Chains A and B, each alone.
Chain A
Amino acid sequence: MFFKCRNCGGNIVYDPDKKAMCCPHCDSLDSEEKVDSPALTETLKVTCASCGAPVDIKEHTSATRCPNCGNYFVIDERVTGSFKPHLIIPFKLGKNTAKDLLRKEFDKRPFTPQGFMTNASLDKMEGTYVPFFMYDYHSDMNYQAVGTKVRHWSDGSYEYTETSYYDVTRAMNADFDKVPVDASIAMDDGLMDLIEPYNYTELEGHQDKYLSGFLSEKYNMGERELTPRAEQKVIKDSQEMLHASVSGYATLTEVNETISPTKKAVDYALLPVWEYIYGYQGKEYKYHVNGQTGKVLGETPVAKGKVIAYGCTVFGLMAAFGFLIRAILLVM
Chain B
Amino acid sequence: MNKFFKYFKVPFILLAILAVVTIGIRIARSGKPTGIERNNTETDLTTNVFNFAGNLEPSHVAALESLIESTEEEVGCDIAIITLDETLEGRYNSQPYQWVRDYAADFAAEHSMGYDKPNGNIIIFVDNIYREPSSGKVHSWLWTNGLAEEMIPTSEAEEIMDVALEYLTDYSDADDFYSAYAKVIELVPGNMRSTSQSMLRIFRPSYILIFALVVALLYILINWTTKAGVRTTVSTTYVENGRPNLTHKGDVFLRKTVTKRKIQTSSSSGGGGGGHGGGHSR
Contact across chains for A331 and B226 when beta carbons are under 8 A apart: no
Residues of A within 8 A of B200 (CB): 326, 329-330
CB of B228 to closest CB in A, whole Å? 5
Does B36 have its Cβ within 8 Å of any Cβ on chain A?
no
Look across to chain B and name the residue whose beta carbon is closest to the beta carbon of A332: B196
Residues of B within 8 A of A56 (CB): none
Please, how many angstroms separate the alpha-carbon atoms of A179 and B29 in the complex?
72
- Cross-chain contact of B215 among A162, A164, A315, A323 (Cβ < 8 A): A315
Please, how many angstroms separate the alpha-carbon atoms of A319 and B256 in the complex?
60
Digitize B1-45: 1 where CB-to-A-CB distance is under 8 Å, 0 elsewhere: 000100110011011001101100110010000100000000000
- Cross-chain contact of B258 among A160, A191, A296 (Cβ < 8 A): A160
Look across to chain B and name the residue whose beta carbon is closest to the beta carbon of A141: B244
Digitize B213-250: 1 where CB-to-A-CB distance is under 8 Å, 0 elsewhere: 10111011001111111111111111110011111111
Look across to chain B and name the residue whose beta carbon is closest to the beta carbon of A176: B238
Please, how many angstroms separate the alpha-carbon atoms of A259 and B182 in the complex?
73
Residues of A within 8 A of B257 (CB): 162-163, 165
Please, how many angstroms separate the alpha-carbon atoms of A298 and B228 in the complex?
4
Q: Count contacts between A and B, CB distance < 8 Å.
A: 218
Does A256 have its Cβ within 8 Å of any Cβ on chain B?
no
Number of interface residues of A (CB under 8 A): 77
CB of A227 to closest CB in B, whole Å? 15
CB of A331 to closest CB in B, whole Å? 5
Does B62 have its Cβ within 8 Å of any Cβ on chain A?
no
Contact across chains for A167 and B252 when beta carbons are under 8 A apart: yes
Q: Which of B99-107, B183-191, B260-268 contacts A (4 or more CB under 8 A)?
A: B260-268
Contact across chains for B249 and A317 when beta carbons are under 8 A apart: no
Please, how many angstroms separate the alpha-carbon atoms of A52 and B236 in the complex?
50
Contact across chains for A309 and B216 when beta carbons are under 8 A apart: no
Contact across chains for B212 and A318 when beta carbons are under 8 A apart: yes
Residues of A within 8 A of B224 (CB): 111, 302, 307
Residues of B within 8 A of A328 (CB): 21-22, 25
Please, how many angstroms separate the alpha-carbon atoms of A244 and B246 in the complex?
12
A167-B250, A194-B231 known; A173-B244 Cβ under 8 A: yes
Contact across chains for A172 and B244 when beta carbons are under 8 A apart: yes
Look across to chain B and name the residue whose beta carbon is closest to the beta carbon of A105: B229
Chain A CB within 10 Å, residue with most, of B12, B19, B21, B229: B229
- Cross-chain contact of A327 among B12, B22, B252, B255 (Cβ < 8 A): B22
Does B92 have its Cβ within 8 Å of any Cβ on chain A?
no
Does A321 have its Cβ within 8 Å of any Cβ on chain B?
yes
Residues of A within 8 A of B248 (CB): 169-172
- Cross-chain contact of A237 among B26, B236, B255 (Cβ < 8 A): B236
CB of B15 to closest CB in A, whole Å? 6
Residues of A within 8 A of B232 (CB): 194, 196-197, 295
Q: Which of B156-164, B173-181, B202-210 contacts A (4 or more CB under 8 A)?
A: B202-210
Does B211 have its Cβ within 8 Å of any Cβ on chain A?
yes
Digitize A157-191: 1 where CB-to-B-CB distance is under 8 Å, 0 elsewhere: 11111111111111111111111000000000011
- Cross-chain contact of B235 among A109, A111, A244, A327 (Cβ < 8 A): A244
Residues of A within 8 A of B208 (CB): 318-319, 322-323, 326
Residues of A within 8 A of B252 (CB): 166-167, 169
Please, how many angstroms separate the alpha-carbon atoms of A241 and B234 in the complex?
9
Contact across chains for A237 and B239 when beta carbons are under 8 A apart: yes
Does A154 have its Cβ within 8 Å of any Cβ on chain B?
yes
A165-B254, A322-B212 known; A159-B244 Cβ under 8 A: no
10 smallest CB-CB distances across A and B, nearest first, come from: A322-B208, A318-B212, A240-B235, A171-B248, A174-B244, A315-B216, A169-B250, A297-B229, A332-B196, A319-B212
Residue numbers of A with Cβ under 8 A of B are 109-111, 141, 146-147, 154, 156-179, 190-191, 193-197, 236-238, 240-241, 244-245, 295-300, 302, 307, 309-332
24 contacts between A and B (CB under 8 A): A159-B262, A160-B260, A161-B261, A162-B258, A164-B253, A165-B256, A176-B239, A191-B229, A193-B231, A240-B235, A241-B235, A310-B4, A311-B220, A312-B216, A314-B212, A314-B216, A322-B203, A323-B205, A325-B203, A326-B200, A329-B197, A330-B34, A332-B29, A332-B34
**Contacts A172-B246, A299-B228 supplied; 10 other A-B pairs, CB < 8 Å:** A110-B7, A154-B263, A158-B262, A165-B256, A170-B248, A197-B238, A237-B237, A310-B219, A311-B219, A314-B212
